[in-house]
């Protein structure tokens, strides 16, 4: 899974905050990247 796609889908509302945590646990994104997505950076 691409970090760019995760970010794009999160912004579109397809993925939720819980989904982002799943991606962190799977190693697709880091905790820092998750926080940046949630904060809109």
At 37 the three-state DSSP class reads: helix
Q: What is the DSSP string of 1-35?
A: --HHHHHHHHHHTSS-HHHHHHHHHHTSS-HHHHH
Q: What is the pLDDT of residues 24-35, one digit of tens each?
A: 999 999 999 999
Q: How confident is the model at residue 11 (pLDDT cuts 50, 70, 90)?
A: very high
Q: Are 28 and 6 in contact (CB under 8 A)?
A: yes
pTM comes to 0.86
Domain coordinates of the chain in residue numbers? 3-38
16-21 CB contacts, 8 Å cutoff, 24+ apart = none
Q: For a pLDDT cut of 90, what percent of the chain falls above it?
A: 93
């Amino acid at each position: 899974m691409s970090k760019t796609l995760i970010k794009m889908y999160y912004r579109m509302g397809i993925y939720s905050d819980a989904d982002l945590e799943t991606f962190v646990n799977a190693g697709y994104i880091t905790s820092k990247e998750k926080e940046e997505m949630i904060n809109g950076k």
